[in-house]
A and B are shown apart, each in its own frame.
Chain A
């Protein structure tokens, strides 16, 4: 279990770094959603199902949609 958690945390950190590096904001948003999804998995493994549910529904689902809609209204590429 602890190995799986360590792997998930490494992927999460990589996704978080990728979020700040990507110039294409659509890619950055997807990486950000990956961070939320793994955070929700980790919350579940740490016996916090209430927080895991909120993180999965709001962090991975709704926030991503709102970011995508906001990017469509503004610009996709960071100058």
Chain B
């Protein structure tokens, strides 16, 4: 009975969505703001990656909100799993030779790749969030290879706070120099160069460091406190 009613509800929902979405023209450029980003994005922000120019420059304030949501989620996980004094740790089976050796080889490369992604966020696909996630997956590999390892939580927290602080301070400097929060106040330079696009690389480095340490800490909390 419950299954049947759920199925009926689902069908009604699907029919409603189909009716609404059928009226939206697919694949046509009718939105003025999208065309503006594509045509003027590079000259206005200096970033050749249009996605980055939207995420950090045109919609920079939304990104600050996103980072805040992620921070709140990480805080929630830490609070849920917090224990005053970790109880006696279970003996863990050591990782196999292949995993241990492979992780030693791969870990620096993964971290380097993550840093590359967020450092070049204004030039190539990717950015702070993607680079941070790659760095966190490097931490995950390290935990798989060395069970029982504990991380230095203080360093991670410091990196996380520093990332958030740099983002907000850069935004406030925008008010000081140009009158708007997160306004680009540095010279835009030549597109396609590493040092271009003003504050965008700065903000993306801050986001990359913050997201990487935050996700790394979530995984560390889950692995260590069990």
Contact = CB atoms under 8 A, between A and B. Distances in A.
Nearest to B215: A62
Interface residues of B, number: 20
Given A50-B51, A61-B137, A72 B226 contact: yes
B41 to A, nearest CB: 14
Contacts of A52: 125
B137 A69 contact: no
B222 to A, nearest CB: 4
B117 interface: yes
A69 B222 CA distance: 7
B183 to A, nearest CB: 23
Interface in A50-79: 50, 52-54, 57-58, 61-62, 65-66, 69-70, 72-73
Contacts of A57: 130, 133-134, 136-137
B127 interface: yes
A61 B134 CA distance: 9
Interface string B47-69: 00101100000000000000000
Interface in B113-138: 117, 125-127, 129-130, 133-134, 136-137
Given A58-B133, A62-B136, A73 B215 contact: no
B159 interface: no
A66 B134 contact: no
A72 B223 CA distance: 10
A50 B222 contact: no
Interface string A29-55: 000000000000000000001101110
The 8 closest A-B pairs by CB, nearest first: A57-B133, A49-B125, A69-B222, A53-B130, A50-B51, A61-B137, A58-B133, A50-B125
25 contacts: A49-B126, A50-B49, A50-B51, A50-B126, A50-B127, A53-B117, A53-B125, A53-B126, A53-B130, A54-B130, A57-B134, A57-B137, A61-B137, A62-B133, A62-B136, A62-B137, A62-B215, A65-B140, A66-B218, A66-B219, A69-B219, A69-B226, A70-B222, A73-B222, A73-B226
